[in-house]
Amino acid sequence: MTKHFRPVFDAAEKGAQELGQLPEWDLSDLYPAPDAPELKRDMDWLKQECAAFAADYEGKLATLDAAGLLECVRRYERISTVSGRIMSYAGLRYYQATTDAERAKFLSDCQDRITDYTTPLVFFSLEFNRLEDDHLARLLAENADLARYKPVFDRMRKMRPHQLSDELERFLHDQSVVGASAWNKLFDETIAGLTFEVDGEELGIEATLNLLTEHDRAKREAAARALARVFTANIKLFARVHNTLVKEKEIEDRWRKMPTPQYSRHLANDVEPEVVEALRNAVVAAYPKLSHRYYELKRRWLGLDKLQVWDRNAPLPMEEPRLIPWEEAEKLVLDAYAEFSPKMAEIARPFFEKGWIDAGVKPGKAPGAFAHPTVTEVHPYVLLNYLGKPRDVMTLAHELGHGVHQVLAAGQGELLSSTPLTLAETASVFGEMLTFRKLLASARDNATRKVLLAGKVEDQINTVVRQIAFYDFECKLHAARREEGELTPEHIGALWMSVQAESLGPAFEFMEGYESFWSYIPHFVHSPFYVYAYAFGDGLVNALYAVYEEGDPAFQEKYLEMLKAGGSKHHSELLAPFGLDARDPAFWDKGLSMISRMIDELEAMEG
């Protein structure tokens, strides 16, 4: 049966009429087309170079002098760049239309070939980690260009206690295309293909979720119930995806002797488990003074005995419905960036002018928003699903912040530019804060200021409280799967509801079907335990912004230098120039206090 997406097309037509011309990606900076000779050339080069690299270096790393090891690392970096360029192109084409069979096949074929070609490289990190510490230290001391890569080497060598035999590591590398990545694609294609009937109209997931921010409460309820119906109808498939991925992770963690399910994420993020635990504990302890207190205010504003889940992101009664045309959103964000630093606006402007943003809502397009760094010799691309809401403008400011960060860090080169997830949110959340402060400064009256403040508090609750609740859900999910075996959809739903009730507080009651809403969160599938990075980034930015407001005259220069560092420095080194230390529990309280003070101001307005 053919499914009709008429209202989604309506949204696109509406976008053209009311929002202005929404930009689309021009991916030709990566490759002109899937059958382009340039792509074939790179794929052929990759096949030959991976084999040559293994022939030249396998079993010989310990015999290399400093210059020889530097050449080896640079060749490895070049392979990373070329393979990253191909996969960026294939992935971005796919995210534009995840239900397009040709694009899905192209992505799979690229992934399969690159996995095959790079299998001979598996030896590199394993053999490198077997180098003696004293020997490596001598080589680094002899060659400054090689010493530049020390942060990469340090992160690699943190895996030393957890690496397996060369043969097993090759097996895991080969098997990955039919493991997690295959389940990820099944999830993506299923989510993108779902349709939701709301008041007789068929909508995709992005348009349906957007209705949860409508003024009309009946429309919000209809959307929430449609989401619950469809998620519940597909819940067995989603439970299968989660059970399989969590079990796969448990097996690999066991073989690698990872002490906890979260530990591999902490290693990847280059952050100490105790720092994450301090963040988590600070946020959970703050639930009553943050989310519980705010939602009680919102319950009173909406004149309700209890909030329902479809009221969580409802506009305030005094908020006037408003669509923000794309041109206005562009000017607002660029002006906010420019007032902080002309350099930031200069870096951001080409995103709007050169086809680096794909903004419209389209059938089959990946939901949500992201900034993809691609590779350092090209530039990032930003994906949005822009519908003209004020929150969409904040999303634009957020993703553009990622893009600016990625452009600035590109100077570090392919291996050093990538920022751990805990720091990856720094520029994005800061960009949001700059845009919010500009809006707040121009508020024409107290009612407008109240709406803006409430919106910002809600965004921060979604970023901090909601994401830590997500993190707790994942911790419970992985622990239960390890202790009790296969989890039923009902069991997973019960874990979800336990963290939702705790984090949202007594102002809420929960509709039947809400226990299925864990099923559509992509981070649980794509990046286990990723979500605490949002709270980490928000807390870090709030603390940074407090330093900025204190008037440090060199703040902008130090901030841009921090972004330029990419992944070349640990979070402690990056924050030291600002007098901040994430290992200090008071650091997180400082960030949370900023949210609390905004709620104080909202409560004072009630008086």
Q: What's the CATH code of the domain at 86?
A: 1.20.140.70
Contact in structure between 523 and 533 (CB atoms under 8 Å): no
* Residues spanned by the domain of 99: 31-178
Return the pLDDT at 329.
Answer: 96
SS3 assignment, position 310: helix
Return the pLDDT at 6.
Answer: 28
- How far is the C-alpha of 464 from the C-alpha of 440, rounded, in Å? 21
Contact in structure between 359 and 184 (CB atoms under 8 Å): no
Return the pLDDT at 3.
Answer: 29
Say whether pLDDT at 398 is over 70: yes
- How far is the C-alpha of 13 from the C-alpha of 18, rounded, in Å? 9
- How far is the C-alpha of 8 from the C-alpha of 192, rounded, in Å? 13
Return the pLDDT at 167.
Answer: 87
Say whether pLDDT at 421 is over 90: no
Return the pLDDT at 367.
Answer: 84
Residue 152 in any domain: the answer is yes
Residue 251 buriedness (CB in 10 A; 0-12 / 13-18 / 19+): exposed
12 pLDDT band, cuts 50/70/90, is very low
Taking residues 513-526, what's their average pLDDT? 95
Say whether pLDDT at 9 is over 80: no
Higher pLDDT, 507 or 166: 507
Of 274, 246, 155, 183, nearest to 528 by C-alpha is 246
* CB within 8 Å of 365: residues ≥ 6 apart: 95, 96, 97, 98, 192, 206, 358, 383, 385
Return the pLDDT at 75.
Answer: 98
Taking residues 109-136, what's their average pLDDT? 94
Return the pLDDT at 537.
Answer: 86
317 pLDDT band, cuts 50/70/90, is confident
Say whether pLDDT at 425 is over 90: no
Query: How do residues 539-573 score in pLDDT, each as one tens digit?
Result: 888 888 888 988 888 999 999 999 999 999 988 89
Q: Within a 13 Å sphere around the CA of 228, how many CA atoms are in the beta-carbon half?
A: 16
Query: How do residues 459-505 score in pLDDT, each as one tens digit?
Result: 899 989 999 999 999 999 999 999 999 999 999 999 999 999 999 99
Say whether pLDDT at 4 is over 60: no
Residue 368 in any domain: the answer is no
Say whether pLDDT at 14 is over 60: no
Residue 12 in any domain: the answer is no
Residue 272 in any domain: the answer is no
106 pLDDT band, cuts 50/70/90, is very high
Question: Could you tell me the two tokens for 458?
Answer: 């809600």
13 pLDDT band, cuts 50/70/90, is very low
Least confident stretch, 47-51, 244-248, 554-558, 586-590: 586-590
- How far is the C-alpha of 72 from the C-alpha of 136, rounded, in Å? 14
SS3 assignment, position 393: helix
Residue 531 in any domain: the answer is no
Q: How many domains does the chain have?
A: 1
Residue 89 in any domain: the answer is yes
Q: What sign does the dihedral 491-496-502-504 (CA atoms) show?
A: negative
Mean pLDDT of the chain: 92
Residue 405 in any domain: the answer is no
pTM over 0.85: no
- Percentage of the chain beyond pLDDT 90 is 75
Say whether pLDDT at 5 is over 50: no
Taking residues 344-366, what's their average pLDDT? 96
- How far is the C-alpha of 352 from the C-alpha of 160, rounded, in Å? 44
Say whether pLDDT at 2 is over 50: no
258 pLDDT band, cuts 50/70/90, is very high
Query: How do residues 285-309 score in pLDDT, each as one tens digit?
Result: 999 999 999 999 999 999 999 999 9
Q: Within a 13 Å sphere around the CA of 402, how many CA atoms are in the beta-carbon half?
A: 27
* CB within 8 Å of 220: residues ≥ 6 apart: 211, 212, 213, 214, 310, 311, 314
Return the pLDDT at 607.
Answer: 57
Taking residues 310-337, what's their average pLDDT? 91
Query: How do residues 163-190 score in pLDDT, each as one tens digit?
Result: 888 888 888 888 887 888 899 999 999 9
Return the pLDDT at 314.
Answer: 93
